[in-house]
């Protein structure tokens, strides 16, 4: 076993695996359930995602702050135990009811995310953080692949979405059990972020870390404006072909995200510029490809290429963002840092899903072009920070 792959790192990562093995089936199936089964207009999907992510930003920020105050493990378990509310979405008979259940479960997911990310960062050395967050993302997304696989098989076999959604309760409860088995008890009050050298104590170095932290939060919020829920590409491909192909595209997205998240954590050394180029910029190109494929009538194959590029981009983003925050925030305040990171993304997602819901009604090209522009702007903002990290 690698030195960095400790028992607690493995358990936290397995918790992420089982959580995604549950709720990612909801992410992939929700747009089909809402728009195709419940006959809701496309803009309703935008409203649903905006509520889930927008209010979720408040839960993420609160969860991060509470994690620093009351314990990261405790807050992570509390939020994780409430995520199964998502599983009852399929029992809804109206779009409003489905939106309410989906959003409530997603708020619980956002509430526990900063604590889990901070906890795994606390138990990792500075040199190993990239590998650890890459491994966390790989198992996280790997669970999503399992979820989309059984959802796709279920749809192919004609099993009702309501039943498929209820099945997600099982992996979600296993996820909470994994967190409960983690031995991490928290940090001592005088704990630091590791060995402190003369460079780390200098005012210039501290100012550089603060600048990097602010730049990442701003860029993350801008990227959030571009990063609509993947429900939209699923819906786009389903409209171009079939529901099964729409859901299957999400599996491709997750697979590439898992692989390239681990690779970026192990290989990318200039993390800030890597996040800007391999993350935000590539995601913008992916969005543009999806929009142009739909507009030019290329079909699902062109959209699949765009989804693939976005999967590669998100793998880098989900690994490099928390790695950078973990490096620039002390361990005693890592929960708040991760909470601010999740909240910044969610605030952007709130507006993104509202805007994309409206633009998508006018035409998918308008929606995806807006997303591409915002992602590329986020890349430019981060590159302008000129961080050495």
Spell out the domains of the chain, with CATH numbers in brackets: 7-182+204-384 (1.20.1250.20)
CA distance 171 to 174: 5
CA distance 181 to 11: 7
* Burial tier of 162 (Cβ tally within 10 Å: 0-12, 13-18, 19+): middle
| Residue from 117, 120, 103 nearest 59 by CA | 103
| pLDDT over 90 at 1, yes or no | no
Report DSSP letters for 52-92, one per residue: HHHHHHHHHHHHHHHHHHH-HHHHHHHHHHHGGGGGGGGG-
pLDDT score recorded for residue 194: 45
Write out pLDDT tens, residues 50-61: 788 778 888 999
Q: Which CA distances in Å does 91 have to 25, 47, 99, 157, 163? A: 15, 20, 12, 20, 9
CA distance 220 to 318: 11
Kindly report the number of other CB atoms within 10 A of residue 197's CB atom.
9
Answer yes or no: are the C-beta atoms of 302 and 281 closer than 8 Å. no
pLDDT score recorded for residue 163: 95
| Mean pLDDT (whole number) for 73-97 | 95
CA distance 11 to 7: 6
Answer yes or no: are the C-beta atoms of 324 and 279 closer than 8 Å. no
Question: What is the model's pTM?
Answer: 0.80
Write out pLDDT tens, residues 10-59: 999 999 999 999 998 998 899 889 988 999 987 888 788 878 877 888 89
Strand extents, DSSP E, 6-158: none
């Amino acid at each position: 076993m690698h030195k960095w792959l400790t028992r607690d790192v493995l358990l936290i990562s397995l918790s992420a695996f089982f959580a995604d093995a549950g709720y990612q089936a909801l992410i992939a199936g929700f747009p089909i359930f809402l728009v195709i089964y419940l006959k809701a207009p496309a803009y309703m999907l935008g409203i649903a995602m905006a509520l889930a992510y927008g209010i979720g930003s408040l839960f993420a920020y609160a969860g991060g702050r509470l994690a620093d105050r009351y314990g990261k493990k405790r807050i992570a378990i509390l939020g994780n135990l409430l995520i199964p509310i998502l599983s009852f979405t399929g029992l809804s008979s109206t779009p409003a009811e489905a939106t309410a259940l989906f959003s409530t479960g997603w708020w619980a997911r956002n509430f526990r995310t900063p604590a889990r990310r901070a906890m795994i960062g606390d138990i990792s050395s500075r040199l190993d953080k990239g590998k650890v967050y890459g491994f966390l993302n790989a198992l996280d997304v790997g669970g999503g692949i399992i979820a989309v696989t059984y959802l796709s098989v279920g749809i192919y076999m004609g099993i009702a979405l309501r039943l498929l959604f209820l099945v997600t309760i099982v992996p979600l409860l296993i996820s909470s059990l994994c967190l409960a088995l983690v031995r991490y008890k928290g940090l001592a009050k005088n704990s630091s972020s590791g060995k402190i050298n003369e460079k780390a104590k200098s005012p210039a170095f501290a100012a550089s870390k603060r600048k990097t932290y602010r730049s990442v939060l701003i860029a993350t919020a801008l990227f959030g404006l571009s990063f609509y829920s993947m429900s939209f590409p699923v819906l786009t491909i389903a409209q171009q072909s079939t529901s099964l192909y729409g859901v299957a595209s999400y599996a491709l997205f997750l697979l590439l995200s898992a692989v390239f998240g681990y690779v970026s954590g192990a290989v990318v050394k200039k993390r800030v510029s890597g996040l800007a180029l391999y993350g935000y910029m590539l995601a913008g190109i992916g969005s543009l490809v999806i929009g142009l494929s739909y507009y030019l009538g290329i079909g699902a194959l062109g959209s699949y290429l765009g989804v693939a590029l976005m999967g590669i981009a998100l793998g880098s983003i989900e690994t490099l963002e928390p790695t950078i925050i973990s490096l620039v925030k002390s361990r005693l305040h890592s929960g708040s840092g991760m909470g601010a990171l999740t909240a910044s993304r969610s605030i952007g997602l709130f507006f993104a899903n509202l805007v994309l819901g409206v633009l998508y009604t006018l035409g998918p090209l308008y929606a995806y072009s807006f997303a591409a522009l915002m992602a590329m702007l986020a890349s430019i903002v981060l590159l302008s920070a000129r961080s050495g990290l």
